[in-house]
Structure 1
């Protein structure tokens, strides 16, 4: 029998899982309809259920997003045994105030002219849904799961704190 996964509408819990994980894999569809992923730095998990990234206006991902704005994001923190996937809608944002608000000086390596770089833009991903997994990383929890499997033949069933699907 397939396991039952808890469903929640708490997008904040999803954002909380990734607040310390700064790098994500952003996946788009290329012109041939194939998945195309690349690492992206998450500037800010927005309180409005959106994630923000800096990008170049002429980047391949921008043309891919203009053709199909459905994107996927993957976050992982192996040390904390936390894994998150997010599906959302991407929008290119060129508002100078927002660019200045999210700007960090270490981005200058990618945008030498800073916030005045004519090729700078933001990518906003509005979260539609996601899922997270907090694998039991505690030795005691793993030992308990092992003992349960040996004695009862049943596998560990994650609690809603360990795994849940999130619907925005």
Structure 2
């Protein structure tokens, strides 16, 4: 995923954390009011904290976004580094051929066999409203020691930094 330096300095930490995570879970609300998550390849986080995705115009998530005030959640996890990010925002479906051309990559052809001119190809643009992250700066061994120590002492382990960021 491409990430660009953020205009909002508070989102810079989020950008650095999600920059190496290509697949995120996008959550919408389905027709029955249930939360529904699916893996999505993030194409870009632009300088405004906006996340960009390709999707099919006929995908149920496009209708779900429109029916539920455009509210979505995007969740990132890098388990090996114990880094986690949850982004709440609003999504919109749009067709912008210049942006499609900019973001097109060979992996997308698997979902859009007619290439960037596929009539079912559209963009999802997710504007970040709030992001919360959990960042463990310690190694796996240190984290395991902290967890074991906490279990023995009956305390809660200190597992790193947690912060909410508003955009």
Asked if these proteins are the same fold (TM beyond 0.5), I'd say: yes
C-alpha deviation, 1:130, in angstroms? 1.6
Displacement over 6 Å in runs of 4+: none
In 2, distance between residues paired with 1:166 and 1:100? 31
Extract unaligned runs of 5+ from structure 1. 1-7
| 1:62 alignment partner, SS class | helix
Structure 2 counterpart of 1:165: 164
Note the alpha carbon deviations across 1:129-150, whole angstroms, 9 max, x for none. 1211123444235435654775
Structure 2 counterpart of 1:143: 145
TM-score, with structure 2 as normaliser: 0.85
C-alpha deviation, 1:156, in angstroms? 3.5
Structure 1 counterpart of 2:99: 98
Bigger relative contact order, structure 1 or 2 (CA pairs below 8 A, ≥6 apart): 1
Query: For the Cα contact (< 8 Å) 2:150–2:157, is it kept in 1?
Result: yes
Query: For the Cα contact (< 8 Å) 1:24–1:39, is it kept in 2?
Result: yes
Query: For the Cα contact (< 8 Å) 2:134–2:163, is it kept in 1?
Result: yes
Task: Please list, as runs of the form range in 1=range in 2, the aligned pairs for 1:1-168 lying within 5 A after superposition.
Answer: 10-68=10-68, 69-135=70-136, 136-140=138-142, 142-143=144-145, 146-147=148-149, 154-157=155-158, 162-168=161-167
C-alpha deviation, 1:9, in angstroms? 6.9
| 2:98 alignment partner, SS class | helix
C-alpha deviation, 1:91, in angstroms? 0.9
Structure 2 counterpart of 1:5: none
C-alpha deviation, 1:126, in angstroms? 0.5
Query: For the Cα contact (< 8 Å) 2:89–2:130, is it kept in 1?
Result: yes
| 2:31 alignment partner, SS class | coil
In 1, distance between residues paired with 2:81 and 2:164? 19
TM-score, with structure 1 as normaliser: 0.84
